[in-house]
Amino acid sequence: MIIVATKDITTEQIDHIRERVEAIGLRTHVSRGESRTIIGCIGDEARLAHLPLLSIPGIDSVHPVMRPYKLAARDFAADRTSTVRVGNRTFGGTVCPVAAGPCSVEGGGMMAETGRAVAGAGASLLRGGAFKPRTSPYSFDGLKEDGLRILAEVREQTGLPIVTEVLDPRDAELVAGYADMLQVGARNMQNFALLREVGQLQRPVLLKRGMSATLKDFLLAAEYIMSRGNMQVVLCERGIRTFGGEMRNTFDLAAIPWLKMETHLPVIADPSHAGGRRDLVAPLSFAALAAGADGLIVEVHPDPASALSDGDQSLTFGEFADLMGGLGVFAEAAGRTL
| CB of 119 or CB of 310, closer to a copy of itself | 310
Stretch touching a copy of itself by CB under 8 A, among 83-91, 104-112, 173-181, 209-217: 209-217
Total number of residues that touch a copy of itself (CB under 8 A): 68
Q: How many CA atoms lie within 13 A of 283 on its CB side?
A: 7
| CB 297 to a copy of itself: min, Å | 16
Report phi then psi at 279, rounded to 5: -75, -5
Binding of residue 254 to a copy of itself (CB under 8 A): yes
| CB of 155 or CB of 248, closer to a copy of itself | 248
Binding of residue 76 to a copy of itself (CB under 8 A): no
Query: Which among 50, 48, 52 is positioned nearest to 64, based on CA atoms?
Result: 48
Q: What is the per-residue burial (b if ≥16 Cβ within 10 Å, else e) of 272-311?
A: bbbbbebebbbebbbbbbebbbbbbbbbbbbebeebbbbb
Site string for a copy of itself, 133-162 (x = CB under 8 A): xxxxxx--x---------------------
Binding of residue 258 to a copy of itself (CB under 8 A): yes
CA distance 58 to 61: 9
What are the CA-CA distances from residue 166 to residues 12, 100, 182 (Å)?
40, 17, 6
DSSP secondary structure code for residue 165 in this structure: E
Stretch touching a copy of itself by CB under 8 A, among 13-21, 89-97, 200-208, 213-221: 213-221
Taking CB under 8 A as the criterion, the residue among 15, 60, 229, 241 binding a copy of itself is 241
Question: Residue 63: what residue type?
Answer: H
Question: Residue 263: what residue type?
Answer: T
Q: How many CA atoms lie within 13 A of 276 on its CB side?
A: 11
Stretch touching a copy of itself by CB under 8 A, among 11-19, 105-113, 152-160, 239-247: 239-247
Query: Which among 252, 198, 250 is positioned nearest to 226, based on CA atoms?
Result: 198
Taking CB under 8 A as the criterion, the residue among 118, 274, 296, 307 binding a copy of itself is 274
Identify the sign of the CA torsion 268, 106, 303, 318.
positive
Interaction site with a copy of itself (CB under 8 A): 42-43, 68-69, 133-138, 141, 167-170, 187-188, 190-194, 210-212, 214-217, 220, 223-224, 227, 240-247, 250-254, 256-258, 261, 274-275, 279-280, 283-284, 286-292, 329-330, 332-334
